Amino acid sequence: MAESAKIFRRTLIDDIQPYLATDDIIVLHGARQVGKTHILYYLKNRLEKANEKVYYIDLEDSRFKAVLDKGFQSFLNLLKEEGFDLRTKTYVLIDEIQYLNNPSSFLKIIGDHHKEIKLIVSGSSNFDSKSKFKNSLVGRTVNFEVFGLSFAEFLNFKKYRFSPGRAFTAKKIGELKDLFAEYALYGSYPKIVLAPEVERKEKYLQQIIDTYIRKDIRDLADIRDIDKFNKLLEALAAQSGNLLNVMELANTCRLSRITVEKYLFILENTYVIRLVRPYSRNIRSELFKTPKIFFYDSGLMQMLWLKLLPREVVGNVFETAVFSELIKKYSRENIYFWRTIDKKEIDFILRKNNRVMPIEVKLNFAQFNQTGVAYFLKQYRVDGYRVVGLRGDRKRGEYIYPWEI
């Protein structure tokens, strides 16, 4: 990312801010292209404006990797050569920390013995970083997950004025509906959002698929049969929002069940997909244990599925986009779904502060059927629910638009 490019403020900055003054090592985890480098640049500019001493290192530059791989003393010498007085606080921002041969040891030594150096680092994926991060870092790091843009951030990138919680005119609501449809169709990668033409969005998304998903993850997981892995990706993309059937996937892609489960684990831990678990409060007899599969990015999902970006939002794409919003706002650990043996179902169950909120997602509010929700409310003694929609009449107070989640 060029430093001259406009740097938009991400909402995650609010969560990071309190830890800038602590001794914790700040670690940003996330897929490629979701904006980790962007956040590091924002922090760099902000710290420099506050007259703090800041040094940025990109480990995709092999020269920096060679220096840091030699050990912490080589790193300290680099800072001294750059004119930093290490007797006073220095912020060091390191992008793509997973490229180091032993990032865990490096971070531990600096964190334990050089408190004057405040480290803020990024790792390209949960799986990649965790495979190199050892237990020795427990208690020394504070971790933040970076996802694609939320809808509010999308609007900011679009320079569209939006204040959550306000009452809007019919014209404003119409504009927001169109913008959310765009958000659902093309996804939340910052570079894709900023690309003006659909053709360019498609090209950039295909580059992410080719260079990150198909190459980086393939190499990371030592995937031998590329064609079968690619077929699995396409099959998963077609099923976003559906129950996961591992044996069906195995048969479709001509892979063993064990291999499919291994690939699913890798894809989940590299922020491509999320397996959403069924919600239960000890009513085990009525719930399936089978998870649902969701892609984090609806644009990426459609490029894998359809090989292009369509012009019209369909139900599973809208549901995937709403799922993406929920995990960005409430964290992925708090999102479940619910389904009984006789197929009563609720799209999402949000767990927050020991309370649960059933959430149905319907592209048109008129599609909502109250049967599943009514049963859930009675069984679990819950007194509220929401229906997230984009079209049709909002006849009930429980009906909300995606930006009201």
Q: Which of 146, 176, 210 is the last residue of a domain?
A: 146
Share of the chain above pLDDT 90, in %: 76
User: How far apart are alpha carbons 262 and 268 in whole angstroms?
Assistant: 10
Has residue 2 been placed in a domain?
A: no
- For residues 173 and 300, state if they share a domain: yes
210: phi then psi, degrees, rounded to nearest 5: -70, -40
pLDDT of residue 203: 97
- For residues 138 and 157, state if they share a domain: no
In 70-189, alpha helices (H): 72-81, 103-113, 126-132, 151-157, 170-186
- For residues 91 and 128, state if they share a domain: yes
Cβ(293)–Cβ(240) under 8 Å? yes
- For residues 231 and 133, state if they share a domain: no
Q: How many domains does the chain have?
A: 2
SS3 393: coil
- For residues 134 and 236, state if they share a domain: no
pLDDT of residue 282: 62
pLDDT tens digits in sequence order for the chain, 405 residues long: 544 457 889 999 999 999 999 999 999 998 889 999 999 999 999 999 999 999 999 999 999 999 999 999 999 999 999 999 988 999 999 999 988 988 988 999 998 889 999 999 998 765 555 555 655 576 788 999 999 999 999 999 999 999 887 788 999 999 999 999 999 999 999 999 999 999 999 999 999 998 888 777 777 777 878 889 999 999 999 999 999 999 999 999 999 999 999 999 989 988 999 999 999 876 554 455 899 999 999 999 999 999 999 999 999 999 999 999 999 999 999 999 999 888 899 999 999 888 999 999 999 999 999 999 999 999 999 999 999 999 999 999 999 999 999
User: How far apart are alpha carbons 190 and 271 in whole angstroms?
Assistant: 16
- For residues 138 and 35, state if they share a domain: yes
- For residues 338 and 367, state if they share a domain: yes
pLDDT of residue 4: 44
Q: Which of 101, 125, 146 is the last residue of a domain?
A: 146
User: How far apart are alpha carbons 59 and 53 in whole angstroms?
Assistant: 20
Extract the tokens encoding 263.
């690939």
- For residues 247 and 139, state if they share a domain: no
Residue 19's domain comprises: 12-146
Has residue 4 been placed in a domain?
A: no
**Distance linking the first and last C-alpha atoms of the chain:** 32
- For residues 161 and 295, state if they share a domain: yes
Has residue 6 been placed in a domain?
A: no
Has residue 254 been placed in a domain?
A: yes
- Tens of pLDDT, residue by residue over 274-319, are 999 999 876 554 455 899 999 999 999 999 999 999 999 999 999 9
Has residue 5 been placed in a domain?
A: no
Has residue 35 been placed in a domain?
A: yes
For the domain that residue 40 is a member of, what is the CATH number?
3.40.50.300
User: How far apart are alpha carbons 190 and 183 in whole angstroms?
Assistant: 11
Nearest partner of 107 among 142, 82, 145, 154, judged by Cα: 142
- For residues 320 and 224, state if they share a domain: yes
- For residues 221 and 367, state if they share a domain: yes
Q: Which of 89, 119, 146 is the last residue of a domain?
A: 146
Has residue 7 been placed in a domain?
A: no
Amino acid at 43: L
- For residues 118 and 171, state if they share a domain: no
Query: Which neighbouring-strand residues pair with 336?
Result: 349
Query: Which residue has tokens 């799209």?
Result: 347
- Residue by residue, DSSP assigns 282-312 as S-GGGB--PPEEEES-HHHHHHHHHSS--SS
59: phi then psi, degrees, rounded to nearest 5: -80, 0
Has residue 156 been placed in a domain?
A: yes
User: How far apart are alpha carbons 326 and 332 in whole angstroms?
Assistant: 8
pLDDT of residue 283: 53
344: phi then psi, degrees, rounded to nearest 5: -70, 135
Nearest partner of 184 among 65, 278, 311, judged by Cα: 311
pLDDT of residue 216: 72
